[in-house]
Structure 1
Amino acid sequence: MEPLNLAPAPRARRPRPQVVSLTEAAADRVRDIMARADKPYAGLRVGVKNGGCAGQEYVLEYAEAADPMDEVVQDKGVTILVEPKAVLFLIGTVVDYETTALSSKFVFRNPNETDACGCGESVTIVPQTDEAEA
Structure 2
Amino acid sequence: METTNTTARTPVVTLSESALKEVKRLMNVQGVTEGGLRLGVKGGGCSGLSYTINFDDKIGQYDTVYEVDGVKVIVDAKSAIYLQGTQLDFQKDLMGGQFKFVNPNAQKTCGCGESFSA
Alpha-carbon offset, residue 39 of structure 1? 4.9
Distance in 1 of aligned mates of 2:88 and 2:32: 24
1:31 aligns with 2:24: yes
CA RMSD after TM alignment: 1.6
Give the match's secondary structure for 1:99: strand
Which of the numbers 84, 92, 98 marks the counterpart of 2:85? Answer: 92
Q: For residues 44-74 of structure 1, give each alpha carbon's deviation from its aligned partner in whole angstroms, at most 9, with x where no partner exists.
A: 1111001111001100011112112110021
Question: TM-score, structure 2 length as denominator?
Answer: 0.85
Distance in 2 of aligned mates of 1:44 and 1:119: 22
Higher deviation after alignment, 113-122 or 48-57: 113-122
| Corresponding residue for residue 63 of structure 1 | 56
Question: TM-score, structure 1 length as denominator?
Answer: 0.75
| Corresponding residue for residue 10 of structure 1 | none
Distance in 1 of aligned mates of 2:114 and 2:86: 17
CA radius of gyration, larger in: 1
Instruction: Please tell me whether the aligned partners of residues 65 and 75 of structure 2 are also in contact (alpha carbons under 8 angstroms).
Output: yes
| Corresponding residue for residue 19 of structure 1 | 12
Distance in 2 of aligned mates of 1:28 and 1:39: 15
Distance in 2 of aligned mates of 1:47 and 1:123: 13
Unmatched 5+ stretches in structure 2 = 1-8
Q: For residues 48-103 of structure 1, give each alpha carbon's deviation from its aligned partner in whole angstroms, at most 9, with x where no partner exists.
A: 00111100110001111211211002112211000111111111111011001123
| Residue type of the alignment partner of 1:20 | V
| Residue type of the alignment partner of 2:104 | P
| Residue type of the alignment partner of 1:123 | F
| Corresponding residue for residue 43 of structure 2 | 50
| Residue type of the alignment partner of 2:87 | V
| Corresponding residue for residue 4 of structure 2 | none
Which of the numbers 91, 98, 113 marks the counterpart of 1:105? Answer: 98
Q: Which has more strand, going by share of residues?
A: 2
Distance in 1 of aligned mates of 2:71 and 2:116: 25
